[in-house]
């Protein structure tokens, strides 16, 4: 079964992890962030605009790009569509609810999650089109496309609604685990037939967008340890997809790449991440639990480079931009690393609050969203 055409899907999301889980993998060792080192910039990156959409509070909000537009939201109910070339609002809506997840958009419909499990869907003009109720708390951005709005709950249930009407189409339930991370875990479309999603417990599935049944399900890794905390083994961030290769990573587990049509493992390596990964045709990159950034060959899984100069700086989900890896950190710095060897090529300062979500490329502008709700339009030259 061929689910895929040649597709490149950037990683757009990050994870927020409970302190309990973080301590489980570090044996409660005190983390001291590595001071930033000076370097000679090889890439000129200019800030061309800034905007604000509202603070994230205790949740993680990730921007999403559709063409030249970027969509973003904040905990206070604010949802905005912004022209990434100019930084000007196309529309801005204030919902009468606090939000816990967003944003998902295909340019026609834009979806966010409310604090009590409500799903709000706006039309192309930013007007409320419909709202529905999810079967649990939503802390992950909805996925919008293929005529659907797809939402996942904290316990791993995934529900799909008709994007036009709000009618529920299907519900997918993965097996429950005794303890899981309170995380924002994304989903990725595989063409127009499947949704790729990882789950607590380390499982990874391709779900039929028409029926909600699994085309395949495979483990990224298995739980290990004696206590329930030690056995936490959740897939971190959304799966990546380039062509027919999809990759995923778990907390306290492994990084692996798989055939997206069958779920067959290509390779798996010991690795633990609480943020997520990015992938292109040849390389998969991620920060581990200590924010040591590592790159691996997509085809073989062999390590290609390691950068320890951001250790304990709580790096975000990475994004790949040409020959650069882009990550934010806990002080609001945006770091650009060479995709060839991991060396620093540029650095930009934002508002000083953490950057947890992956930067997104809208047109020729890289957009970054901070925890304080500030959006920055950056343009590499």
Residue 4 domain flag: no
CA neighbor of 13 nearest in space, from 84, 126, 106, 104:
104
- The pLDDT value given to residue 154: 87
d(CA 109, CA 146): 11
What is the band of 178 on the pLDDT scale with cuts at 50, 70, 90?
low
Evaluate whether 247 touches 258 at the Cβ level (below 8 Å). yes
| Alpha-helical segments (H) within the chain | 19-26
The residue range of the domain holding 265 is: 10-380
Looking at the predicted structure, is the pLDDT value of residue 3 above 60?
no
Residue 166 falls inside a structural domain: yes
Cα distance between residue 239 and residue 199, in whole Å: 11
Give the residue from 135, 136, 111 showing the smallest Cα distance to 124: 111
Q: Kindly calculate the radius of gyration of the chain based on its CA atoms and give it in whole angstroms.
A: 19
Instruction: Supply the pLDDT for residue 97.
Output: 96
CA distance 158 to 96: 25
The number of distinct structural domains making up the chain is 1
100 in any annotated domain: yes
Q: Using the predicted structure, report yes or no on whether residue 263 has a pLDDT greater than 70.
A: yes
Contacts of the segment 348-352: beta carbons below 8 A, 24+ positions apart: 348/45, 348/47, 348/376, 348/378, 350/374, 350/376
**For residue 210, is it within any domain?**
yes
Question: What confidence score (pLDDT) does residue 282 get?
Answer: 97
Would residue 1 count as lying in a domain? no
Please tell me which residue, 29 or 377, carries the higher pLDDT value. Answer: 377
- pLDDT tens per residue, range 69-118: 999 999 999 999 999 999 999 999 999 999 999 999 999 999 999 999 99
The CA–CA distances, whole Å, from 52 to 43, 153, 367 equal: 26, 27, 12
What separation in angstroms does the CA of 243 have from each of 69, 137, 139, 191, 283? 24, 33, 28, 10, 13
Of 8-12, 24-28, 37-41, 292-296, the range with the lowest mean pLDDT is 8-12
Which burial class, exposed, middle or buried, applies to 76 when counting CB atoms under 10 A from its CB (0-12, 13-18, 19+)?
middle
**Within-domain flag for 2:** no
pLDDT score at 299: 96
Q: Tell me, what's the pLDDT at 25?
A: 44
Average pLDDT over residues 325-346: 98
Q: What is the pLDDT of residues 134-168, one digit of tens each?
A: 999 999 999 999 999 999 998 889 999 999 999 99
Nearest Cα neighbor of 67 from 356, 365, 281 is 365
The pLDDT value recorded for residue 226 is 82
Q: Give the CATH number, domain containing residue 236.
A: 2.130.10.10
Note whether residue 5 is domain-resident.
no
Q: What is the DSSP string of 163-191?
A: TTT--EEEEE-PPP-S--------EEEET
Average pLDDT over residues 310-317: 96
Is 302 contained in some domain? yes
Per-residue pLDDT of 196-207, as tens digits, reads 999 988 999 999
Distances (CA, A) of 212 to 74, 196, 209, 222: 30, 12, 6, 24
């Amino acid at each position: 079964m061929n689910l895929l055409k040649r597709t490149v899907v950037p990683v757009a999301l990050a994870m927020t992890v409970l302190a309990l889980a973080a301590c489980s993998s570090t044996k409660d060792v005190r983390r001291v962030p590595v001071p930033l080192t000076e370097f000679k910039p090889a890439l000129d990156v200019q800030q061309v605009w800034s905007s604000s959409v509202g603070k994230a509070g205790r949740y993680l909000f990730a921007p999403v790009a559709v063409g030249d537009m970027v969509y973003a939201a904040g905990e206070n109910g604010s949802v905005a569509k912004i022209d990434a070339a100019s930084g000007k609002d196309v529309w801005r809506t204030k919902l009468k609810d606090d939000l816990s997840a967003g944003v998902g958009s295909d340019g026609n419909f834009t979806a966010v999650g409310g604090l009590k499990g409500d799903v709000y869907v706006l039309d192309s003009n930013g007007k409320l089109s419909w709202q529905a109720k999810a079967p649990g708390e939503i802390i992950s951005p909805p996925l919008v496309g293929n005529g659907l709005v797809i939402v996942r709950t904290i316990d791993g249930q995934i529900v799909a609604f008709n994007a036009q009407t709000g009618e529920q189409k299907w519900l997918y339930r993965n097996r429950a685990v005794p303890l899981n991370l309170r995380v924002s875990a994304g989903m990725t479309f595989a063409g127009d037939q499947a949704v790729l999603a990882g789950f607590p417990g380390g499982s990874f599935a391709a779900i039929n967008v028409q029926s909600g049944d699994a085309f395949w399900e495979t483990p990224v890794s298995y739980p290990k340890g004696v206590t329930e905390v030690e056995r936490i083994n959740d897939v971190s961030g959304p799966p990546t997809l380039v062509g027919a290769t999809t990759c995923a990573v778990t907390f306290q587990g492994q990084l692996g790449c798989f055939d997206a049509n069958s779920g067959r493992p290509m390779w798996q390596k010991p690795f633990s991440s609480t943020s997520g990964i990015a992938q292109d045709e040849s390389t998969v990159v991620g920060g581990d639990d200590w924010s040591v950034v590592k790159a691996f060959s997509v085809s073989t899984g062999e390590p290609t480079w390691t950068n320890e100069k951001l250790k304990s700086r709580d790096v975000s989900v990475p994004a790949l931009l040409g020959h650069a890896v882009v990550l934010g950190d806990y002080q609001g710095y945006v770091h650009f690393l060479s995709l060839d060897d991991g060396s620093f090529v540029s650095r930009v300062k934002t508002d000083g609050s953490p950057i947890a979500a992956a930067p997104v490329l809208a047109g020729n502008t890289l957009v970054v969203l901070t925890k304080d709700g500030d959006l920055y339009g950056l343009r590499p030259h």
